[in-house]
C-alpha cells in the first residue's frame, strides 16, 4: 500500500518529470544543477569544467531517452524491417552540440548555461570526440547513422567500442608524432553499458566431426578460447523527429566462467593474463587507411564484433516470435567494406551449427540478408587473409568458406566453362606462394547487392577489381554516391551561413537539401554577395584565431584560404600542392614585386604511423612552410600552415573558412571523397581532377564554377601502358626542375640532401601517382584561380552557386537510395511512450 502510494506520488510529481524532460530555460537550469549534484556529486564552487560538461550532457541525454526507448520498443515489437549497418569504424565527432541541434533546444540551452554563468561554446569545446575511425569510411558511417535517424528509418549501427581510437597527432620539428587517444579517460556521458546484453565469441581451436544418432554430420567447433562481448549503446537522434536509433558497440571482456575456473585452480596470474588477452580485442583501432594490415588481432576484432552483432540480431528476431527462416525479412545487413564480411561465413555457421538448418536453406537466408559496399580500387587496400592464419583463428569458418567456394565454382564453371582465368579470379581462395582468402570475393558471393560510392568508382569497379563479378552477376551492381549530413556539416559547423541561407529560403533545406537551389536567384545580387562574403570572412577570422592559438602563427584572413585536409597519402597528392607552393615562392624570389594574390595554404591530416613516405610529405610541408613563412621577400603573401591533429572537431572549424578546396588525387584512385562535398557545400570552389565524386560535383555546380585540371582516369592508364617516364617531365620543364632540385639540394632542410631523397627519387623514377605528369596542368589552373579571386563579385557568385547546387550530396539522398533500391525499407514515425505510464 505504502509503495503504491509512493509510486502514485512519483507519477504525479511534475517536478521529477520536469527535471528529466522539461525544455524550458528554467527546466534546463534545474536539470544541470541536479545532475551536477546527484550524478557528479559536486556543488558549483568545486565543480570543474568537465563536471559541467558532464552535467549538461546528462541533461541532454535525459531528453533523448524518451525518444530512444520509444524507438526501440516500436522497432522490436513491430513488423518493421531494421537496417543493420556493420562497420569496423564510426567517426562520430562530438555529440553535445549535434544533439542540441537535433533536439531543437540549442538556444534554450545556450540561455540556461549563460544564466548559470558560463558560455555554452566553452563547454561544447570540452568534449573529447570518439575517434573510432580513420577517415572517410568511418565518417560516412556516422553521416549515414544521422540520416537514417532523421529519415525515421529503423536502424542499428554495430561496431567496436575501441578503448583507444585514432591516435592524436602532434608535430615535432616538422615530423608527425603519435600519442594514444585515451578518449574515455573522463567518462562518456552518451553511452549506456548494457551489461545484460552480452554474447560469447569462440576463437581458435579445432573442429570435431562426427555423425549423430540421426545420421547427420555434426561439426563441433571446440574453441581454443572464448571472449565475451558486452553491448555499449549510444542513441543517435534524428533531426527534429522522435526517432533515436541505436549505435551498439561491443567491448571485449573475459567470460566469467573462464576466469573463475583458473582462479579456483589457484592459477590466479593465468586468469589475469586471460583477462588481458580478452580485453585486447577491443583495445585499439588500427590506424591504417587504404592499407590492410594482415594481423591476427585485426581478424579477431572483425570476427568478434560481427559474431556479437549477428547473435544479437538473431536474438532480437527470435524474441519477436518469428522463425529463423524469415530472418531476412526482419534485418538487412549492410557491410561497410569487406571488414565485416566474415559475417557471411558466421551467418552460415550460426544457421547450420546452432540453428541446425540445411545448407541450401541457410544459404538462401544468408544471401538475402547481406549487401556489400566497396570503398576502394587500390589493390593494396583489398583485404585478404593468409589461409593458415585464418585457420588458426576461425577453423570452422574455413570449412564453411571452402564449401561455399566449392558450390560457387560449380556455377562459375557452368557459365565460363574452360576459362581458368575467370575461375581463378572468382575463387574465394587465392593461390600464390601461400594460399589466402579473398574477402571481397566472400562479400560478393554472399551479398545480393554490391555498390560503389560514386558513379566513376562504380564504373571502374565493374571494369577492374570486380570485373569478373560484374560479368557473373551484373544484376547485383549499382552505384550509391556518398553524401554528407547537412546537420553537422552546415547547421552545426557554420551557423552564420545557415542563418543567411535561411533568411532567404526558409529552413526546410536542412532536411531537403535540394532546396538550396532557391539560392541561385540571389547569386548575382550584390547585397547578397556582400552578406555571403562577410560570413566567409567571419569564418576565416575565426580560423585565423584558432591557428594563432594553436600554432602561434599569424595569417591574413583576407588572403585566399587554400585548403587541403584529409588523410596524408601519396594518391591524394599533398606533395603536388607543395610543388605548386614552391613554384609560387620561386616566382616571388625571382621578382619580389610580382603581383600575386596572397594565399594561406592550410593542410591537415594524419599519416598511418608506419607509412614512411606519407610522414615524409608532412615533414616536407612543414619544411617548406618554415622557409616560405619566414622569408622577408615573401612579405606574408604566402603562408603555409599545417594544422595538427585533424579530426571531426577540427574539421568543423576548417571547412567553413575555405575559399578553395583541393581535391587533387590521381584520377581513378579516390573512390569518392566526402570532404570535397563538405567544402563545396560551405561555399568553397574546388580545384580538382576528374576523380571520385568530383566528377558529379562538377556536373552539379557547373563546369564554369569548378577548376578542373589533370589527366583523366583513362589517360592515366594509357600513359602508364605506353611507358610513363616521370624523368622526362622533370627534364623538359625548367620550373618543375628547379622545384625538385631545391628539395633535393636541401634548400628547405638546412642543406640536408638526404632527408627528402626517398620522396624525390620516387617522384623521378617511379611516380605511381603521376604527380609530375599533372604538375604543369595544376600550375596553370592555379594561375587561373589567382586571376579569378581578384574579381570579388564573380568569386562570390561562383561560391553561392556552389552551395546552391550541392543538394544532391546530402547523405539523406544517399540513404533514400539505399532504402528504396537495396534495403527495401520504409520510414516508421515513432510514437512516444509516456514515461509516466510505464509502471
Residue nearest to ligand F58 (CB): 136
In order of 80, 244, 245, 831, the CA distances from 73 in angstroms are 11, 11, 11, 10
Q: How far is the CB of 118 from ligand F58 (least distance, A)?
A: 37
Our answer to whether residue 678 is catalytic in this structure is: yes
**375 counts as catalytic:** yes
- Cα separation of 357 and 348, whole Å? 9
The per-residue DSSP string of 718-783 comes to HHHHTT--HHHHHHH-HHHHHHHHHHHHTTTTTT-SSTTHHHHHHHHHT-TT-HHHHHHHHHHHHH
Q: How far is CA 59 from CA 29, 39, 113, 628, 813, in A?
A: 9, 10, 12, 49, 32
**Dist. CA 437–CA 431, nearest whole Å:** 9
Catalytic residue among 126, 139, 488, 572: 572
Provide the 3-class DSSP secondary structure of residue 636.
Answer: coil
Strand segments, DSSP code E, in 244-323 are 244-253
Q: What are phi and psi of 751, to 5 degrees?
A: 70, 5
Does residue 605 bind ligand F58 (CB under 6 A)? no
Decide if residue 165 touches ligand F58 (CB under 6 A). no
DSSP 401: H
Give dist(CA 237, CA 317) in Å, integer. Answer: 23
How many residues touch ligand F58 under the rule CB under 6 A: the total is 20
- Stretch 672-691 residues interacting with ligand F58 (CB under 6 A): 672-674
Task: List the catalytic residue out of 480, 536, 567, 619.
Answer: 567
Active-site residue identified among 63, 228, 678, 805: 678
Q: Which of 277, 279, 294 is nearest to 389 (CA)?
A: 294
In the window 287-306, what residues touch ligand F58 (CB under 6 A)? 288-290, 292
Q: Which is nearer to ligand F58, 309 or 674 (CB)?
A: 674
Decide if 674 is catalytic: yes
Contacts (CB under 6 A) with ligand F58, residues 103-142: 134-137, 140
Binding mask 366-395 for ligand F58 (x = CB under 6 A): ---------xx----x--------------
- Which of 671, 695, 740, 798 binds ligand F58 (CB under 6 A)? It is 671
Give the separation between CA 151 and CA 567, rounded to whole angstroms.
Answer: 30
**Residue 23 CB, nearest approach to ligand F58 (Å):** 36
160 binds ligand F58 (CB under 6 A): no
Question: Of the residues 20, 29, 375, 615, which is catalytic?
Answer: 375
Choose between 52 and 436: whose C-beta lies nearer to ligand F58.
436
Pick out residues in 631-670 that bind ligand F58 (CB under 6 A). Answer: 670
- Write down the catalytic residue from 674, 689, 760, 803: 674
Q: Which is nearer to ligand F58, 137 or 621 (CB)?
A: 137
Binding mask 326-365 toward ligand F58 (x if CB under 6 A, else -) reads: ----------------------------------------
Q: How far is the CB of 687 from ligand F58 (least distance, A)?
A: 17
CB of 632 to ligand F58, least distance (A): 41
* Spatial CA neighbour of 570 closest among 535, 506, 614, 505: 614
User: What would the x/- binding string for ligand F58 be over residues 442 to 481, using CB under 6 A?
Assistant: -----------x----------------------------
Minimal distance, residue 72 CB to ligand F58, in Å: 28
Smallest gap from residue 613 Cβ to ligand F58 (A): 17
* CA dist 108 → 102, 150, 243, 257 (Å): 13, 21, 21, 50
Considering the complex, state which of residue 329 and residue 386 has its C-beta at the smaller distance from ligand F58. Answer: 386
Looking at the Cβ atoms of 375 and 639, the one nearer to ligand F58 is 375
User: Hey, is 328 helix, strand or coil?
Assistant: helix
- Closer CB to ligand F58, 74 or 663, in the complex: 663
Contacts for 827 with CB less than 8 Å, ≥ 6 apart: 151, 152, 153
Pairing assessment for the beta strands 435-438 and 384-386 based on DSSP bridges: antiparallel
Does 572 participate in catalysis according to the annotation? Answer: yes
Nearer to ligand F58, 188 or 674 (CB): 674
437-457 burial code (b ≥16 CB/10 A, e <16): bbbbbbbbbbbbbbbbbbbbb
Q: Of the listed 67, 422, 566, 805, which one is catalytic?
A: 566
Q: Does residue 338 contact residue 443 with C-beta atoms inside 8 Å?
A: yes
What is the C-alpha separation between 443 and 822, in angstroms, rounded?
Answer: 15
Q: Rank residues 389 and 597 by Cβ distance to ligand F58 and give the closer one.
A: 389
Q: Who's near 154: CB < 8 A, 6+ residues apart?
A: 71, 74, 75, 80, 81, 82, 83, 245, 825, 828
Rounded CA-CA distance 758/744 in Å is 10
| 254 vs 450, beta carbon nearer ligand F58 | 450
Residues lying near ligand F58 in the complex (CB under 6 A) are found at 134-137, 140, 288-290, 292, 375-376, 381, 453, 482, 670-674, 692
Q: Which residues are tagged catalytic?
A: 375, 566-567, 572, 674, 678
Amino acid at each position: 500500500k505504502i509503495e503504491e502510494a509512493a509510486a502514485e506520488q512519483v507519477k504525479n510529481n511534475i517536478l521529477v518529470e520536469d527535471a528529466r524532460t522539461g525544455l524550458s530555460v528554467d527546466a534546463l537550469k534545474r536539470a544541470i544543477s541536479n545532475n551536477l549534484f546527484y550524478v557528479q556529486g559536486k556543488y558549483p564552487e568545486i565543480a570543474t569544467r568537465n563536471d559541467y560538461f558532464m552535467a549538461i550532457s546528462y541533461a541532454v541525454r535525459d531528453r533523448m531517452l524518451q525518444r530512444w526507448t520509444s524507438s526501440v520498443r516500436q522497432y522490436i515489437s513491430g513488423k518493421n524491417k531494421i537496417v543493420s549497418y556493420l562497420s569496423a569504424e564510426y567517426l562520430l565527432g562530438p555529440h553535445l552540440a549535434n544533439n542540441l541541434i537535433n533536439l531543437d533546444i540549442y538556444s534554450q540551452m545556450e540561455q540556461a548555461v549563460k544564466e548559470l554563468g558560463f558560455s555554452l561554446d566553452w563547454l561544447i569545446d570540452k568534449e573529447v570526440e570518439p575517434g573510432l575511425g580513420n577517415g572517410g569510411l568511418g565518417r560516412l558511417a556516422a553521416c549515414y547513422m544521422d540520416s537514417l535517424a532523421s529519415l525515421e528509418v529503423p536502424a542499428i549501427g554495430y561496431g567496436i567500442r575501441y578503448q583507444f581510437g585514432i591516435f592524436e597527432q602532434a608535430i615535432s620539428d616538422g615530423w608527425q608524432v603519435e600519442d594514444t587517444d585515451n578518449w574515455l579517460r573522463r567518462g562518456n556521458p552518451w553511452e549506456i553499458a548494457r551489461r545484460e546484453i552480452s554474447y560469447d565469441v569462440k576463437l581458435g581451436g579445432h573442429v570435431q566431426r562426427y555423425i549423430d544418432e540421426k545420421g547427420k554430420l555434426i561439426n563441433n567447433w571446440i574453441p581454443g578460447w572464448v571472449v565475451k562481448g558486452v553491448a555499449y549503446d549510444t542513441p543517435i537522434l534524428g533531426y527534429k523527429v522522435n526517432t533515436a536509433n541505436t549505435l551498439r558497440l561491443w567491448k571485449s571482456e573475459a567470460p566469467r566462467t573462464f576466469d573463475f575456473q583458473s582462479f579456483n585452480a589457484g592459477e590466479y596470474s593465468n586468469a589475469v593474463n586471460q583477462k588481458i588477452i580478452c580485453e585486447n580485442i577491443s583495445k585499439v583501432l588500427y590506424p591504417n587507411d587504404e592499407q590492410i594490415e594482415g594481423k591476427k588481432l585485426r581478424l579477431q576484432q572483425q570476427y568478434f564484433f560481427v559474431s556479437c552483432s549477428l547473435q544479437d540480431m538473431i536474438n532480437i528476431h527470435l524474441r519477436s516470435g518469428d522463425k529463423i527462416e524469415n530472418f531476412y525479412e526482419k534485418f538487412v545487413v549492410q557491410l561497410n567494406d569487406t571488414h565485416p564480411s566474415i559475417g557471411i561465413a558466421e551467418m552460415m555457421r550460426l544457421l547450420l551449427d546452432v540453428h541446425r538448418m540445411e545448407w541450401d536453406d541457410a544459404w538462401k537466408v544468408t544471401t538475402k540478408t547481406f549487401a556489400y559496399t566497396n570503398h576502394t580500387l587500390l589493390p593494396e587496400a583489398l583485404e585478404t587473409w593468409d589461409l593458415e592464419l585464418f585457420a588458426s583463428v576461425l577453423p570452422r569458418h574455413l570449412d564453411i568458406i571452402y564449401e561455399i567456394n566449392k558450390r560457387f565454382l560449380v556455377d562459375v564453371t557452368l557459365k565460363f566453362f574452360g576459362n581458368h582465368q575467370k575461375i581463378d579470379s572468382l575463387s574465394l581462395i587465392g593461390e600464390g606462394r601461400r594460399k589466402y582468402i579473398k574477402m571481397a570475393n566472400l562479400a560478393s558471393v554472399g551479398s545480393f547487392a554490391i555498390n560503389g560510392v560514386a558513379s566513376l568508382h562504380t564504373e571502374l569497379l565493374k571494369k577492374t577489381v570486380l570485373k569478373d563479378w560484374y560479368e557473373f552477376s551484373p544484376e547485383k551492381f549499382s552505384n550509391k554516391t556518398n553524401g554528407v549530413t547537412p546537420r553537422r556539416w552546415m547547421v552545426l559547423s557554420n551557423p552564420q551561413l545557415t542563418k543567411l541561407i535561411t533568411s532567404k529560403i526558409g529552413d526546410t533545406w536542412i532536411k531537403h537539401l535540394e532546396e538550396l537551389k532557391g539560392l541561385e536567384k540571389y547569386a548575382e545580387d550584390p547585397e547578397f554577395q556582400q552578406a555571403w562574403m562577410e560570413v566567409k570572412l567571419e569564418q576565416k577570422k575565426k580560423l585565423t584565431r584558432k591557428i594563432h592559438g594553436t600554432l602561434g602563427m599569424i595569417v591574413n584572413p583576407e588572403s585566399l584560404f587554400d585548403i587541403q585536409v584529409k588523410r596524408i597519402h601519396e594518391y591524394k597528392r599533398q606533395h603536388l600542392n607543395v610543388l605548386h607552393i614552391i613554384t609560387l615562392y620561386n616566382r616571388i624570389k625571382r621578382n619580389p614585386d610580382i603581383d600575386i594574390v596572397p594565399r594561406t595554404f592550410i593542410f591537415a591530416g594524419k599519416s598511418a604511423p608506419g607509412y614512411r613516405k606519407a610522414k615524409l610529405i608532412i615533414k616536407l610541408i612543414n619544411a617548406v612552410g618554415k622557409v616560405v613563412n619566414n622569408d622577408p621577400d615573401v612579405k606574408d603573401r604566402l603562408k603555409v600552415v599545417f594544422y595538427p591533429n585533424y579530426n571531426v572537431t577540427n574539421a568543423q572549424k576548417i571547412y567553413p573558412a575555405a575559399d578553395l578546396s583541393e581535391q587533387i588525387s590521381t584520377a581513378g584512385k579516390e573512390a569518392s571523397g566526402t570532404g570535397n562535398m563538405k567544402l563545396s557545400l560551405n561555399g568553397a570552389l574546388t580545384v580538382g581532377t576528374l576523380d571520385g565524386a568530383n566528377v558529379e560535383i562538377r556536373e552539379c555546380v557547373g563546369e564554369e564554377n569548378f577548376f578542373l585540371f589533370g589527366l583523366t582516369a583513362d589517360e592515366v592508364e594509357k600513359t602508364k601502358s605506353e611507358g610513363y617516364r616521370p624523368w622526362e617531365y622533370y627534364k623538359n620543364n625548367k620550373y618543375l626542375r628547379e622545384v625538385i632540385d631545391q628539395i633535393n639540394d636541401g634548400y628547405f632542410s638546412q642543406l640536408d640532401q638526404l632527408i627528402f631523397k626517398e620522396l624525390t627519387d620516387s617522384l623521378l623514377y617511379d611516380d605511381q601517382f603521376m604527380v609530375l605528369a599533372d604538375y604543369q596542368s595544376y600550375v596553370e589552373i592555379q594561375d587561373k584561380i589567382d586571376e579569378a579571386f581578384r574579381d570579388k563579385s564573380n568569386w562570390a557568385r561562383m561560391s553561392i552557386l556552389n552551395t546552391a547546387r550541392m543538394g544532391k550530396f546530402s547523405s539523406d539522398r544517399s540513404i533514400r537510395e539505399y532504402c528504396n533500391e537495396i534495403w527495401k525499407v520504409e520510414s516508421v514515425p515513432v510514437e512516444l511512450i509516456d514515461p509516466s505510464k510505464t509502471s
